[in-house]
Copies of this chain bind each other. A is one copy, B any other.
Amino acid sequence: MNTKIIESSSDAYQYPLLIKQLLLSGRRYGPMNEIVSGDLRYNYLDLNERVARLANVLADAGIGAGDTVAVMDWDSHRYLEAYFAVPMIGAVLHHINVRLSPDQIAYTMQHAEDRLVLVHDDFIPIVEQLAEQLPTVKGYIQLTDADAPGQTTFDIIGEYETLLASADNHYVFPDFDENSTATTFYTTGTTGNPKGVFFSHRQLVLHTLNAATTFAAYEGAPLLRSEDVYMPMTPMFHVHAWGVPYVATLLGVKQVYPGRYEPNHLVRLYRDEGVTFSHGVPTVLQMVLDSDEAKTTDLSRWKLLTGGAAPTEALVRKMMERGISFYTGYGMSETCPLLTITHLSPEQAQLPLDEQVVLRMRTGTPIPMVELRLIDDAGNEVSRDDTSVGEVQVRTPWLTQGYFREPEKGDELWQGGWLHTGDVASINDEGVIQIRDRMKDVIKTGGEWISSLLLESLISKHPAVNNVAVVGVPDARWDERPLAQVVLSEGVEVNADELKAHLMQFVDDGQINKWAIPEQFHIVKSIPVTSVGKIDKKRIRAELANQL
């Protein structure tokens, strides 16, 4: 399009969007607010000074623009400092997922071409094991929570705090292209090697500004404002801790970094440091809620955001009964991550608990500047009836633009200018999204899609059913048909006709169509699960294919 683009004055400044601006804002608004990490506590003026010191330490270690610096740490002030110092000198911060296997960690470090590694004592054994496989790594800096750093069998540049203490506290952070890569990390699928996603300064700044607006402006769901106290319970190596450390720093709020997650310790920090806002996957929230400390602590000041997996209704109800304000978000490694978040009107936030549980469990409303569409099998947008499902496809200014050094995989992710999430969802007439299934698990039958998760949920309501998995099996006429594998509760019997009759009630009340009812129910002894405890539908489908 021939729009009007007016030439700039020769001296006009083309202000790039850079992560350093987020840090400067925090110092301006909350200079005396604290960063708490282990026994250490310091304010935003100190944070700015420490980031400058770290930048000098990195420069002294030979790190410059374009180099990649890896971090292996629990949630700490050090990690927060690296969130800023590494990208601010023009380098790339590689968030290593310390939960991967040593082999996978080695693969990601080789693939990302890490040059320097900041490694916590707890991960020194892994690094010792891998060091010889990492020819690109030119040095290691040791991170320790002990009074004296532990011994290492390989050369290190030094211990983090010691290095910072002797570094200059001034660093002139340059401006550069806002499309420069700031961060990278790897996402693991069920097959193949981990894939590297990457985010630029521009993307992280825009993610932060939109998240800050969303968190602060809506009275029915005010997650994070200037007087809040923030503590992550999603690890900082996991998708930028959902981007919140950048938002918290922009606002200059008090931040609490809890180290390795220990449920009782998390609750004590909540209580003693005045924490008001945290986020975590449902399993972490469950552990926190089940801890001894939680039983004797008033939790009603806590705002908790979950994501990464659907929370159970029981968990949400339990949290709300404890007075916790509960919210759900949605995103993935490829999306920085925020795409949707619970949005409530002030009136909705006052509804009876039962009604709120339902609203707060939903996947949420797309945040500003997220374009999200649900595309069905025929390539059309689904209607806003809360039932029809389609693949979630998105556009926002903060999506990975591919996978690092794997263009063919990037081309699968991006098709027709939309990022294909591989998730299947419905949308209601208020624009609220509900994730229904993974694309590869949804059952495509007669041109329609059936959510395997929905069928599992409905079948499991039968008292004789202890566990259930639903997968699609090839069908000559309908393309695919659902098949249910059912584990029965001890001492009871049920047959396929009874289970079909059980499902008919959900046809009657409109939750599913009649053609969604499986013809085949296999009673099995157990259902295979993956290493992280999810139903392994890929294996079920493969085994069924062998049997046919």
**Interface of chain A residues 348 through 371 with chain B (CB within 8 A):** 365-366, 368-369, 371
CB-based contact B15/A410 at 8 Å: no
A132 contacts the other chain (CB 8 A): no
Tell me, rounded to whole Å, the shortest Cβ–Cβ distance linking A362 to chain B.
Answer: 15
A12 contacts the other chain (CB 8 A): yes
Copy tally for this chain in the complex stands at 2
CB-based contact A397/B226 at 8 Å: no
CB-based contact A6/B65 at 8 Å: no
- Please indicate the chain B residues that have their CB under 8 angstroms from the CB of A416 in the complex: 11
Stretch from A136-144, A265-273, A400-408, A526-534 at the B interface: A400-408
A338 contacts the other chain (CB 8 A): no
Say which size band chain A's interface belongs to. 35 or more
CB-based contact B12/A402 at 8 Å: yes
Q: When A5-B177, A213-B216, A216-B216 are in contact, do A11 and B415 touch as well, CB less than 8 Å?
A: yes
- Please indicate the chain B residues that have their CB under 8 angstroms from the CB of A404 in the complex: 6
- Smallest CB gap from A365: residue in B: B28
- Please indicate the chain B residues that have their CB under 8 angstroms from the CB of A220 in the complex: 226
**Interface of chain A residues 171 through 224 with chain B (CB within 8 A):** 174, 176-177, 179-181, 198, 200, 206, 209-210, 212-213, 215-220, 224
CB-based contact B9/A411 at 8 Å: yes
CB-based contact A414/B9 at 8 Å: yes
Give chain A's interface residues, CB within 8 Å of chain B.
Answer: 1-15, 17, 21-22, 24-25, 28-29, 31, 64-66, 68, 90, 92, 174, 176-177, 179-181, 198, 200, 206, 209-210, 212-213, 215-220, 224-227, 250-251, 343, 346, 365-366, 368-369, 371, 395-397, 399, 401-404, 407, 410-411, 413-419, 430-431
26 contacts between A and B (CB under 8 A): A2-B64, A3-B65, A3-B90, A4-B65, A5-B200, A6-B181, A6-B402, A7-B407, A8-B402, A8-B410, A9-B407, A9-B410, A9-B411, A10-B414, A12-B414, A12-B419, A15-B396, A15-B397, A22-B368, A28-B366, A28-B368, A209-B213, A213-B250, A216-B225, A219-B225, A220-B226
